[in-house]
Chain A
Amino acid sequence: MSTFKYNDTEFAVTAAGQGWDITRTLPDGSAALVGTGLFAGMGPAEAQIRALALVKAIYPVGIKVVGPDVAHPNMIGDLRIVGPDVTHPNFIYWDKDSASCPAQL
C-alpha cells in the first residue's frame, strides 16, 4: 500500500486482486472508496502515478468565477437583479480556505 496527500486529503493506493483500489480518508477518519479494481497489471509505482492523475481529475482545486447570470435574475419586487445566483447549482462558494498549501506533487 502507498499513500499520498493531495489538497489536504490523504489517499491510499492498495493492491486488490489484479488491480488497485484508491481510498480517501474522510474528515471523521473513516475511509471511502474512490475507485476499485483499477489499473490492472500495473506495478506499484505506475499505479501511484495513475492514481494521482485520477484523483486530480476527480477532485480539482480551483476557484470558479460565476458571472452575471441573466437566465436566473433575482427578483425584488419588479427589480431584476442580474448577478451571481447563489441558489443556482452552478454556484459554488468556499467558506473555508485550505489549511495549508498543497504539497508539490
Chain B
Amino acid sequence: MEIKGSVVLVTGGGNGIGEAVAKYFAKQGASIAIVDMEQKNINRVVADLKAMGAEAIGVRANVTSEAETARFVQATLAAFGKLNITVACAGIIRDGTMLTLDKETGKVSRKMGLDKWAPVIDVNLTGTFLTLRDAAEAMVNGGWPGLLVTISSVNKCGQVGQLNYSATKVADALMPKIIIGEFMLRGIRNIRCVGIAPGYTATPLLTGMNQDALQAILKDVHLGRLVEPEEIARTIGHCAENEAINATTIEVTGGLCYAGGIAK
C-alpha cells in the first residue's frame, strides 16, 4: 500500500507512540485522524501536524464506547472520504499483584480489585476490538485497501505485576491471526492485519520513571537503550508498504532478553 495519499486513524494519538505514528505517516504524505481522551494533547498534535503541512483532524473519544468508535470512524470519513490504516494505540496500565499478603500474618491483606482489572481490559482489549471492528467495517464497505494494526507489548509473554495488562497484550498479539482467518472465511481480501509488540519505549511514561529502575530494565536490552517511538512508527510504515506482512505480530524491542527467558 502506498502511504502517500492514504488516510490513517490513530487512537491514543495524543501522546507517546500514537503521536509518533501520526507524525511519521503525516511526513510520508498521509492524512491523519487523531483520536484521544485528552483534548489538550489532541490540540497540540493537530497544531504540530498543521505546522508540518499535513491534513489532519482531532477527535476526543473514548475507545471503550461503541458509540464513540463509530463516531470517530464516521468523522474520519466525513473529513477525508476514506480510511486505509488504523492503528489502535490507546492503552493504559494499572499495575499490581493479584494478591498482597500481610507481612506479619502471612494472610491475604489485599486483592486486585475490578477497579484495576476492568479499565485495562476495557481500554486495551475491548477498545482495540471496537476500533478495529468499526474501521474494518468502513474499509470493507468502502472497498479501500486497508491495514489494521494492534499494539501488543513484549509483556505478552507474561509480566509479574501486570496480570491485567499482559492478559490484554497477549490477546492483542493474537488478534491479527484470527481476524485474517475470518477475512479469508468471509472473502474479505482488501484488508491486512498486523500486530506490533514494542519493547521498552521512550514515551513520557518510561523516560519520567526512576532512573535506577530504568537502568535495571535496560540491562536486559541488547541495544542498551530504550526503543524510540519513531522506530515503532517506522515499523508500522514498513508493514503498510510490504503486503507480505500479514496475520502476525512483530516484536520491536531492541533485543529484549530477560535473564532465564521469563519476565520479572
Contact = CB atoms under 8 A, between A and B. Distances in A.
A89 B78 CA distance: 26
A32 B56 CA distance: 13
Contacts of A40: 55
Contacts of A50: 78
Contacts of A17: 53
A2 interface: no
A50 to B, nearest CB: 7
A90 B47 CA distance: 28
| Interface footprint category on A | 20 to 34
Which of A35, A36, A72, A90 counts the most chain B CB atoms within 10 A? A35
A70 interface: no
Given A54-B75, A54-B78, A90-B64, A19 B55 contact: yes
Interface stretch (B114-122, B141-149, B254-262): B114-122
A21 B50 contact: yes
Contact of B79 (A54, A60, A71): A54
| Interface footprint category on B | 20 to 34
A33 interface: yes
A79 to B, nearest CB: 15
A53 B123 CA distance: 28
Contacts of A96: none
| Dominant secondary structure of chain A at its interface with chain B | mixed
A102 interface: no
Interface string A15-40: 01101010000000000111111101
Given A72-B114, A72-B118, A90-B64, A33 B58 contact: yes
A71 B119 CA distance: 12
A40 to B, nearest CB: 7
A17 B51 CA distance: 12
B10 interface: no
Contact of A37 (B55, B71, B75): B55
Interface string B101-144: 00000000000001100110011000000000000000000000
B114 A38 contact: no
A88 B39 CA distance: 19
A54 B50 CA distance: 18
Interface of A: 16-17, 19, 21, 32-38, 40, 50, 53-54, 57-58, 60, 64, 71-72, 87-90
Closest 7 CB pairs of A and B: A37-B55, A35-B57, A36-B50, A57-B75, A54-B78, A32-B43, A57-B78
Given A32-B39, A87-B115, 8 more contacts: A35-B46, A35-B57, A35-B58, A37-B54, A37-B56, A38-B57, A54-B75, A90-B65
Interface of B: 31, 39, 43, 46-47, 49-50, 53-60, 62, 64-65, 67, 71, 74-75, 78-80, 114-115, 118-119, 122-123
